[in-house]
């Protein structure tokens, strides 16, 4: 059985990955090789890559769940969501503050930074959820929707995957970095810009 996490980033996908690893799945998260193949619409190498693992989350899996379902019909899919679209967007912005612009974000959402495009991102998030639920509406046994913030946890996940429920705390991985870390990162960038400007004036 293959298990695919198909929630967007910042929906608790890393926590899902940690849970799947606990169950013993040979797991892969962000797969840069498959993402590059997806950009070229080359699916055969992606399907070959899938054969190497048992469970998946992060990119490119939320983008290709339909193709994956057709090629691996015995697979199961887990859609992670946030308690509200706004909670997701706020998390996306905080993460962008930490990472700065990324090619992944630009390719997927259309913009390297989300802050000034709130409605665009909210629409993308809500459309993704609707598209996934519509696609699986006639085969509900293949899809599980999980919201960690609303109390979903081991019991719901274990039942869906056919495992005994673990008697351990849920592994809340990759929690949002603190505001202090974000501020430190911003200060580093400003300091770097200042040094670059100072060196420019010194040379001239």
Q: What are the pLDDT digits (tens) for 30-48?
A: 999 999 999 999 999 999 9
Place 186 in a pLDDT band, splitting at 50, 70 and 90: low
**More confidently predicted of 193 and 25:** 25
Mean pLDDT of the chain: 90
Which tokens hold the place of 115? Answer: 């802050």
* E strand or H helix at 142: none
* E strand or H helix at 169: none
* 28: phi then psi, degrees, rounded to nearest 5: -135, 140
Spans of all domains in the chain: 3-173, 177-204
Please check the confidence at residue 181 and state whether its pLDDT lies above 90: no
71-117 confidence digits (pLDDT tens): 999 999 999 999 999 999 999 999 999 999 999 999 999 999 999 99
pLDDT score, position 43: 98
pLDDT score, position 27: 98
CATH of 3-173, one of 3.40.50.300, 3.20.20.70, 3.40.640.10, 3.40.50.970: 3.40.50.300
Residues 6+ apart with CB under 8 A from 168: 154
| pTM for this model (two decimals) | 0.85
Locus of tokens 């699916």: 43
pLDDT score, position 172: 80
Residues in a beta bridge with 80 = 146
């Amino acid at each position: 059985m293959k298990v695919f996490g198909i929630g967007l980033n910042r929906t608790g996908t890393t926590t899902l990955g940690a849970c799947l690893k606990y169950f013993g799945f040979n797991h892969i998260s962000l797969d840069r090789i498959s993402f590059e193949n997806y950009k070229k619409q080359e699916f055969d190498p992606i399907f070959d890559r899938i054969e190497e693992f048992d469970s998946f989350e992060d990119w490119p899996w939320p983008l290709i769940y339909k193709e994956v379902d057709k090629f691996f019909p015995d697979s199961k899919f887990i859609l992670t969501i946030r308690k509200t679209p706004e909670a997701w967007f706020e998390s996306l912005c905080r993460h962008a503050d930490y990472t700065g612009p990324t090619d992944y974000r630009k390719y997927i959402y259309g913009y390297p930074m989300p802050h000034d495009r709130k409605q665009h991102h909210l629409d993308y998030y809500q459309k993704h959820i609707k598209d996934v639920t519509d696609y699986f509406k006639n085969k509900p046994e293949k899809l599980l929707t999980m919201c960690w913030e609303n109390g979903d946890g081991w019991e719901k996940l274990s039942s869906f995957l056919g495992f005994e429920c673990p008697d351990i705390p849920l592994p809340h991985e990759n929690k949002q970095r603190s505001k202090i870390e974000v501020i430190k990162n911003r200060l580093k960038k400003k300091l770097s810009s200042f040094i670059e400007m100072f060196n420019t004036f010194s040379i001239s």
